[in-house]
Amino acid sequence: MAGLIPAGAIVDPSKDIFPTTGAHLDPRIVPQFGPNKGKPINPRTAKFLLQNLMLGGKPVVEQRYGTWQWNFPITSEFGGRKAPAPGASTFHKGIDIAAPAGTSITYKGYGSYIPDQGFGTIRTTDAQGNPYDIRLLHTTPGKASEVVGGSPPPAPVLPPAPGQEQQKQDTRTSDILEAFMYGTQYGGKDKEEKPSLTNQLVAGVLSQALSPQRSFINQYISQEPYLQGQAASTYDYLQGLFG
């Protein structure tokens, strides 16, 4: 179950250790996996995380009527810019979200909070279990928190490489046919001995039945709805015998 993680508050500009033009929050999204590991990405591409970031109890961004809506003004975008204040960067690694000083910051979801000087970091994951850091600049840090929300979401299950599943199926089909022709029928006989015509015909039928890409069963599934149940049952039966 998701928890609520306190993450400090927006700092008074007169006490901000970073260059600033006024009270605001600067969230920076840093993946901890993949090719962008450790590199801030455009927060607009990570709204699935920012929708859990709350200012004064209101989400920074949320979906309404099928579109994303920002609940606070964006005063500086991610990327190259003219330095808005002396000492500020000319490449912005986050986005600036205007909100009054003292506005409380919380995060709704799995994760923990680590305070630092002038900012804090929420460590969390997306729905697929990929880890992210959300660094919150221009804040008065709160207290460190342990992991909230129970266990993290499961790590993503990667799909098989192109052709890998078919190769696995072809190998399995070959193993079944070999066991049928040389194991059951031929016992310990030499594999070079030619199978009988009957076994060759049976092998052809089994090969079709066990290969999803060219199965005569799948032809019935796609061409005759009435036979869908029978086709599925036949396939399950064959898988039970030879799977």
Tens of pLDDT, residues 67-92: 999 999 999 999 998 888 888 888 89
Residues of the chain with pLDDT under 70: 1-2, 149-243
Rounded to an integer, what distance in angstroms lies between the CA atom of residue 187 and that of residue 180? 10
Give the model confidence (pLDDT) of 172-191 as tens digits: 555 555 555 555 444 444 54
What is residue 225's predicted lDDT score, i.e. its pLDDT? 47
- CA–chain centroid gap for 233, Å, is 34
Residue ranges with strand state E in 60-219: 61-64, 67-70, 74-76, 79-80, 91-92, 96-98, 104-109, 111-116, 119-125, 131-137, 139-140, 145-148
3-state helix, strand, coil in the chain (%, to 5): 30, 30, 40
